[in-house]
Amino acid sequence: MKAVRIIATLTILSGCFYPPQARPLAPNRAAVKLDLPYDLAWDALHTVVVQDALHIITENPDAGALEAQAVGGFTLTDADCGQLRGIAGKVPAEPDPDASIVYDFQVKAQGPHTSVISVSATFTAPLNVPLHPPSDEQCASHGVQEARLLKQIKEQALLEHHPGTQPAQSGIVKDAPKRSPGAAP
């Protein structure tokens, strides 16, 4: 009887891990359609990746693929990393500061003046369950970071244009040559 209590106590103290229960995002929730040709859509994406200080792992503009990583952790608002069971019952597995996110972006032309940019995110967090070897857990995205990036890309798309033309929606001419008074247009 005493052996059973010792085993039960060790089981409770050792903890158990329950994987994430969130379902993957629907494809339409992780994509944005832009009224831009492919090259300008690619430029908008690249600008946002650089502005957000994401580390570019690979990029292939000819295939419309860009993979970038964000290091420095994420929160439970961003992804479901599962649950741990311990003495206090089930609690969410909190990602630690060494957690990372890898974003896979795809840019596809849908005509001469329309493009679609999609993003999928892979959240990875180190998992330390007592009396178990450390491991990395794939967390299930809640779509928060993907939505944030797509919003930034849409905003940047409004500023993109070919040299000598105006941005599509903003009405601002970037790098327009200055004319002297009285000069012919």
- 7-16 long-range contacts (CB < 8 A, ≥24 apart) are 10/131, 12/86, 12/87, 13/86, 13/87, 13/130, 13/131, 14/129, 14/130, 14/131, 14/132, 15/84, 15/85, 15/86, 15/129, 15/130, 15/131, 15/132, 16/84, 16/85, 16/129
Q: What is the DSSP letter of 77?
A: T
Which residue type occupies 22? A
Is 79 within 8 Å of 127 (Cβ atoms)?
Answer: no
Is 140 within 8 Å of 24 (Cβ atoms)?
Answer: yes
The token pair that represents 160 in the structure block: 């993109």
From the list 101, 27, 117, the residue with the least C-alpha distance to 66 is 117
17-157 under CATH 3.20.20.70, yes or no: no
- Ranges assigned E (strand) in the chain: 16-18, 31-34, 55-60, 65-71, 79-80, 83-86, 89-92, 100-111, 114-127, 135-141
Torsions phi, psi of 96, nearest 5?
-95, 175
The token pair that represents 140 in the structure block: 């299930």
Q: What is the DSSP letter of 155?
A: H
Q: What is the rounded distance in angstroms from the CA atom of residue 33 to the CA atom of residue 137?
A: 32
pLDDT at 26: 52
Q: What is the rounded distance in angstroms from the CA atom of residue 32 to the CA atom of residue 8?
A: 52
Q: What does the pLDDT profile of the chain (185 residues) look like in tens digits?
A: 433 333 333 333 445 756 566 665 555 568 999 999 999 999 999 999 999 999 999 999 999 999 999 988 888 889 888 887 766 677 777 787 888 999 999 999 999 999 999 999 999 888 766 666 666 778 888 899 999 999 999 999 999 887 766 665 433 333 334 444 444 44
